[in-house]
Amino acid sequence: ARKLVEVRDLKMHFPIYGGILRRQIGAVKAVDGVSFDIFEGETLGIVGESGCGKSTCGRAVLRLYEATAGSITIDGTDIATLSQEALRKRRPAMQMVFQDPQASLNPRMTVAGIIGEPLDEHTNWNRAKKLERIYELMDAVGLNRDFANRYPHAFSGGQRQRIGIARALALNPKFIVCDEPIAALDVSIQAQVVNLLEELQEQFGLTYMFISHDLSMVRHIADRVAVMYLGVIVELAPVQDLYDHPQHPYTEALLSAVPEPDPSAEVRKDRIVLRGDVPSPSNPPKGCNFCTRCPKVMDICREIAPETLEVRPGHFAACHLHTHDQTAG
Ligand code: SF4
Ligand code: MG
């Protein structure tokens, strides 16, 4: 497939100011040099614990945040260097579905108003044409057209997320960043929303970056998965290969905590409990970011950051275990 998104060495550092003079005294390195591609029509899952930088990464890719460094190419356009006006013109092609539909929908606007807002901003369509499109979008996400004049508070969490998805689809985007789109929803309706996103992907040829802390859900929806820890991607692989053959100690630990779908499975993983807390992204450890908690840490890990290597076909990992013989110390 064609490469739709190319991100190289993306950094998103938030300055920390302090002292009487409010000088910059440091930076929160929320995203600290990540690179990945997303191919047309695929879903790239981004997983990691809260605070690992995955949401910040999604926002920076869409330039909802101005990245500190790095390049972002979407559909052949260098997004990172576009002027605000040029960026506004590209905006229809790249959209975001937010975690909390409650917070991302204006409570004073009707459903039709919310879904139609991008049309107001980016088209000169008349009322009738806009309404036709709004109805079409409501059909696509499974919302009853009769609800067009109601306000968000009248809807359940799942329905509100459908409104958010309809709005994201309004301008026929190619690429959608879904930031924990089901995390705020009842477990009973999470699968419905994920299935809807998959149907829409099929129907409209969408490409997704799907950000989630839920490894079972990502396993279900993603084609490839990137695992983030403390601002960096530690492993990136086709979904099945990642779950069957994790190549990074952090991924192994994450996966060991996921309940086995088939309890009678031959390979039962033992739970790996990580000690200590995730270090602060304003003061990441020297060497490998995972060295303070890694059960397999070696001396070199505390000195030198590991390079990302292709350790199996299409399967990348950043860990010294792949280059250094453990027994050699
Ligand atoms: Fe663990 Fe070292 Fe690999 Fe980092 S580089 S994950 S500390 S073994
Ligand atoms: Mg899919």
pLDDT at position 275, please? 87
Pocket test for ligand 1, best of 232, 247, 298, 300 (most atoms within 8 A of CB): 298
pLDDT at position 257, please? 86
- Any residues with Cβ below 6 Å from ligand 1, and which? 248-249, 288, 290-291, 294, 296-298, 301, 306, 319-321
Q: How far is CA 76 from CA 7, 81, 152, in A?
A: 12, 13, 37
User: Looking at this predicted complex, what is its ipTM?
Assistant: 0.92
pLDDT at position 329, please? 43
Show the domain range for 10. 3-328
Report the number of distinct structural domains present in the chain.
1
Residues (pLDDT < 50) of the chain are 328-329
Burial class (CB in 10 A: 0-12, 13-18, 19+), 76: exposed
Q: For ligand 1, atom 5, which residue shows the shortest CA distance?
A: 319
Q: How is residue 130 written in tokens?
A: 């806009």
pLDDT at position 325, please? 61
pLDDT at position 326, please? 55
Q: Which of 86, 27, 140 minimizes the C-alpha distance to 74? A: 86
DSSP for 103-133 reads HHS-TTS-HHHHHHHHHHHH----HHHHHHH
For residue 296, the CA-to-ligand 2 centroid distance in Å is 34
pLDDT at position 270, please? 80
CATH number at residue 214: 3.40.50.300
User: Ligand 1, closest atom to CA 294?
Assistant: 1
